[in-house]
Amino acid sequence: GAYDFVPKPFDNDELCATIAKSLALLTLEQEKAYRSTELKSHLHFNRIIGNSPGMQAIYQRIRQISPTRTNVLVTGESGTGKELIARAIHDNSERKDKPFVVVNCGGIPETLMESEFFGHVKGSFTGAVADKQGLFEAANTGTIFLDEIGELSTFLQVKLLRAVQETRFTPVGGTREIDVDVRIISATNKKLEQEVIDGNFREDLFFRLNVIPIKVPPLRDRKGDVELLAAHFVEKYSKKLGKDIVKLSSYAIDFLNRYSFPGNVRELENLIERSVALSSTNIILPESLTISSHKRRRWIEGIQNNRYDLEDVVSGVDLDKIMSEIETAYVKKAMEICQGNKSKAAELLNLSLRSFRYRLDKTTPDKNESGDSDAE
């Protein structure tokens, strides 16, 4: 358990420096342990993380509906964690020790979908060399999770409707009906109500699946959850990649809180994994948090196109944060256009060079610009 050693005869300054380093390491370890404990207090229903009002409402809904066998429809943007919600419902139900079968409705060819759902009997079609159990039968007494339900063809919607209504189905090429006891949880990133109106999704099936709706909020609407999630992913990938990274710097956290995360939690996880892999220190710094150029461009364009809804003022807004986001976006865009030439960027924004440098320093507080010049 020793951190270091000091050979005799020792120098007082060397001894003090060694002690200071060991105490600093101890402080970091204690902070890491505290953050880990604090993080675990925000873990609800398996691996779902978040303490925002929107997520607390979802936790309450999960507690209410888990004991039932009612069908659930989970909606939300891609990357928000809809499958985690479905797993949480299953794991907090009486079916928790029974199968939980995941079906990606958008990842199975339409020609094989019916066979995958309901199975087939030997000889029912070319290549059916043996009887095959379908996913619905495999989920019997448990839960089946139909992800991307909006991708189902109209033909499969008809087949699924009967299975949902009657809790029985007939395998492809078979004559005997199979009864099942399955709870159905569906998920989609589409607006199914609009799909019904447009004639792309059956209304009767929609009502069968949407008995209890759960809408998962996008990460940009979950104030405070970004830091919790980021800390969780730092711990996860530090262990996975054999790194000793203890936290994100305050400036890195500020960057994450200002970014809109169009890819939601999945994008945040990918960003943190990449940052942990590339980081050369035990603290994640802003320069390690790199987002792709097209994502950054979409973010800036979103700000420039007035993505802020003035109606939000009714429920309260953080005006300083909004103004900071706008300022940061324009400063970075000007630097991008001028290829790092501060004088030209200042001219584009109608600012004095001194004022522009002040704003640039606010957007990149950790960057050492001592060697930079104001003009090319």
Per-residue pLDDT of 256-314, as tens digits, reads 888 888 899 999 999 999 999 988 888 888 777 876 554 555 555 555 555 555 555 65
Tokens of 163: 């299975």
Where exactly does CATH 3.40.50.300 map onto the chain? 53-215
Where exactly does CATH 1.10.8.60 map onto the chain? 20-51+222-291
Tokens of 94: 């009486």
Lowest mean pLDDT among 101-105, 133-137, 326-330, 366-370: 366-370
Distance CA 373, CA 305 (A): 32
What's the CATH number for 301-307+322-376? Answer: 1.10.10
Tokens of 155: 């033909």
Q: What average pLDDT score do residues 246-253 get? A: 86
Extract the runs of DSSP E, i.e. beta strands, from 197-299.
Answer: 212-215, 247-248, 283-284
For residue 183, which of 96, 118, 105, 110 has the smallest C-alpha distance? 96
Where exactly does CATH 1.10.10 map onto the chain? 301-307+322-376
- End-to-end, the C-alpha distance of the chain in Å comes to 53
CATH topology for the 20-51+222-291 domain: Helicase, Ruva Protein; domain 3 (1.10.8)
Residue at 202: amino acid letter: R
Distance CA 366, CA 251 (A): 8
Contact yes or no for 272/233 (Cβ under 8 A): yes
- For residue 9, say if its preceding peptide bond is cis, omega within 30 degrees of 0: yes
How many CB atoms are located within 10 Å of the residue 323 CB? 10
Contact yes or no for 164/209 (Cβ under 8 A): yes
How far does Cα 295 stand from its chain's mean position?
Answer: 15
The 10s digit of each residue's pLDDT in 201-236 is 999 999 999 999 999 999 989 878 999 899 999 999
Lowest mean pLDDT among 16-20, 26-30, 52-56, 316-320: 316-320
Tokens of 340: 């790092």
Superfamily grouping for domain 53-215: P-loop containing nucleotide triphosphate hydrolases (3.40.50.300)
How, if at all, do strands 168-169 and 178-179 pair? antiparallel
Distance CA 216, CA 93 (A): 20
Tokens of 294: 């097209």
Distance CA 112, CA 125 (A): 11
What is the average pLDDT score of the chain?
Answer: 84
